[in-house]
Amino acid sequence: MTQKLSDIMTKNVISVSPDQTIEEAARLMSENNVGSLPVVENGQLKGIITDRDITLRSTAKGGNEKTKVAECMSSGNLVTGTPDMDAAQAAQIMAQHQIRRLPVVDHNQMVGMVSLGDLATENETQEEAGQALNTISTPSKPQ
């Protein structure tokens, strides 16, 4: 029987608010050795900001470190899981949407985060996590 996300998710998730600067977001990413942070306001998930978002949506366009997270974050069509979702289902969703981290939301409130690494440590979902990583890691073709 596979585990529920509530059993394997990280519960104390480091996040930023839309009004914080990308400099603050980048510092938190560096301090915590992560490449993305959920953007949360009043407990609600508003988006995700990645180191790539900062690079492409600010730095590459001549933006500065005081740019607000809201200006760089990804916020459309957020993919989330629920605490009662099973790990295999989460792996399938992550593969389908080519994401490495899945925010976990309950009653419109962010309650945790699950990564492919979390899924790979579960015996029942190791195969699904490997398949998800294969799908996610497929190189894109230059345009």
Cα 86 to Cα 118: distance, rounded to the nearest angstrom: 12
pLDDT of 129: 47
Cα separation values, 76 from 19, 69, 79, 110, 135, Å: 18, 14, 9, 16, 22
Q: Domain extents for the chain?
A: 5-136
The H-assigned helical ranges of the chain are: 5-8, 22-32, 51-57, 87-97, 116-120, 126-136
**pLDDT one digit per residue (tens) for the chain, 143 residues:** 568 999 999 999 999 999 999 999 999 999 999 999 999 999 999 999 999 999 988 887 877 889 999 999 999 889 999 999 999 899 999 999 989 899 999 999 999 999 988 887 755 554 554 555 455 455 555 55
Q: What fold is seen in the domain 5-136?
A: CBS-domain (3.10.580)
Cα 81 to Cα 116: distance, rounded to the nearest angstrom: 13
For residues 91, 93, 96, 102, the Cα torsion angle rounded to the nearest 10 degrees is: -80
Cα 103 to Cα 108: distance, rounded to the nearest angstrom: 11
pLDDT of 121: 72
Q: What is the pTM of this model?
A: 0.81
Structure tokens that stand for 121 in this block: 């440590």
